[in-house]
Amino acid sequence: MLPLQAVLLGIELIARYDTLERQIALAVTNVVGTGLLIFIGSRFIRAGSRLPAAVSWLAVAAIWFDAAGNFAHLYANIAWWDKLAHVVGTAAVAGAVWLSFKLFLENRRLSLPAFHHWLYAVSVAMLLAGLYEVSEYVGDWLFDTVRVTDLYDTADDLLWNFLAAAGAAWYFAARFQKPFPKLPTTDT
């Protein structure tokens, strides 16, 4: 997946599709998202397990959907494109949070009621989604951009973020109830 993100970063930095500020913001989204994915994956490897591929693919898809929305002006031309990007991105975040918290609990031999675990994943995902929405306002205020398109844009984005976070946390809770399998070791 790293080569995919490297190709995208090259396109983001070389192609002239928007203002320089927007291009830099899109490249930062790619680098930060990919960096966090690598960091979380390394924590799983350190714990002797592996980050499920579903989270990685969701994260990569979200970054590419966001980029395509900017490159091809899909945000402006397809009404549901923004919703798609928010759903996939928040699903990736909620999945990563749910799985990371599960790994944390397993390593410390702690337990938590399933609803509390789900609520934690949804809450963290929504906190990050809210911060992303604030970044849209700040970006529009500091630079000559129009990321917040109308009065209801933020409320609509947060609704789709919540539905995605709730659904993804439920999916990962149902799919990964058992302890993570340990990677084979070469120790003798």
Q: What are 38-83's pLDDT values in tens digits?
A: 999 999 999 988 999 999 999 999 999 998 888 888 988 998 999 9
Rounded-to-integer distance, Cα 159 and Cα 90, Å: 11
pTM for the full model?
0.86
The confidence band for 173, taking pLDDT boundaries of 50, 70 and 90, is very high
Give backbone dihedrals phi and psi of 4, rounded to 5 degrees, phi first: -60, -45
C-beta atoms surrounding 176 within 10 Å = 16
Q: Which residue in this structure is represented by tokens 């592996």? A: 50
Domain positions in the chain are: 2-175
Name which of 2-6, 12-16, 93-97, 183-187 the model is least confident about: 183-187
Phi-psi label, residue 73: left if phi above 0, alpha if psi -120 to 50, beta otherwise = left
Question: Is the separation of the CB atoms in 66 and 26 below 8 Å?
Answer: yes
CA distance 166 to 181: 25
pLDDT above 70: residue 148: no
pLDDT, tens digit, 9 for 90 and up, residues 105-119: 988 888 888 899 999
